[in-house]
Structure 1
């Protein structure tokens, strides 16, 4: 998904990696076990790779941008298996992961319908009882300014629970913070 120059610079910065590792990921995943195999949808420049790799036995990243997927393989190949593909049509097997996560990327998905397809695909690739969790930014004037020229379709937190439930998830929990929200949901146990 297209991002403006300022946004690309921020997402590949050491500052963003620190912020994500110390604030975003810990808040989104508090109390969750990622299990033996986890998938990150939309790892982008790889800000979360080290943090997530330390929480799971095997980390896979699904990245839609071919250049970023190649960059992930070059820079993080020892910590993550980077796969090029679309989160709305994952080239991954059914029931392959204990956890699926995504952070600050859902708003880059071009429509609510495609976001719902990402939710359905996350459910499909999760093992029964597996967790889908992550976070995304809240819509605001500052959020929109950062995204001028980007694909920017914010997920309203007040509709997220219903959308995840409609996709087939259970135990859905949404918590809203100051500038972002986190979500957790489970694929029903078999």
Structure 2
């Protein structure tokens, strides 16, 4: 899922890593127990890896971009298991994870239908009682400008509850802030 050169520079910067580690991830995961085995969908350049690894004993990343998957294997060896694959058709067994996480990547999935397939796959790989949580950007002018030439299909936060309910999630919460929204949902026991 394509990113323009400026966006690539931003996403691999130490500034972005700090913002994600100190603001986005803590806000998105406030009061959530990740359990013992988490999956991050689309870890990209790895901005969230260290923060997530400090909260969960085992962490897997599912990355669609072969170059980013290879980069993560080199940079985060021993910290995160990296699997190359598409989140709309996860090459993973069902009910493997206690939590599935996604941070600022849903808008890079090229259609709402594929986003819904990602939600269904997140549900499938979660254990009963497991949590699906994360965040994404709110559609606004600066968000669109950063994504010029990118694959950018913003997820309207007001649609998340219905979309997650359709694939079977319960206990759904969606909260918007100025530039991001967070979501959390549970696979029923």
Fold match, TM over 0.5? yes
| Residue in structure 1 matched with residue 144 of structure 2 by the alignment | 144
1:27-176 → structure 2 map (5 Å cutoff): 27-176=27-176
Alpha-carbon separation, structure 2, partners of 1:39 and 1:77: 16
Q: Which runs of 5+ in 2 are unaligned?
A: none
Alignment partner of 1:172: what SS? Answer: strand
Q: Please list every run of at least 4 consecutive aligned residues from structure 1 whose deviation after the TM superposition is greater than 6 angstroms.
A: none
Q: Which runs of 5+ in 1 are unaligned?
A: none
Per-residue deviation, 1:106: 0.1
Alpha-carbon separation, structure 2, partners of 1:180 and 1:13: 19
Alignment partner of 2:92: what SS? Answer: coil
| Residue in structure 1 matched with residue 184 of structure 2 by the alignment | 184
Q: Deviations over 1:99-158 (max 9, x none)?
A: 000000000000000000000000000000000000000000111000000000000011
Alignment partner of 2:130: what SS? Answer: strand
Alpha-carbon separation, structure 1, partners of 2:97 and 2:37: 5
Alpha-carbon separation, structure 2, partners of 1:77 and 1:174: 33
Please, what TM-score do these two structures have when normalized by structure 2?
Answer: 0.99
Alpha-carbon separation, structure 2, partners of 1:66 and 1:77: 16
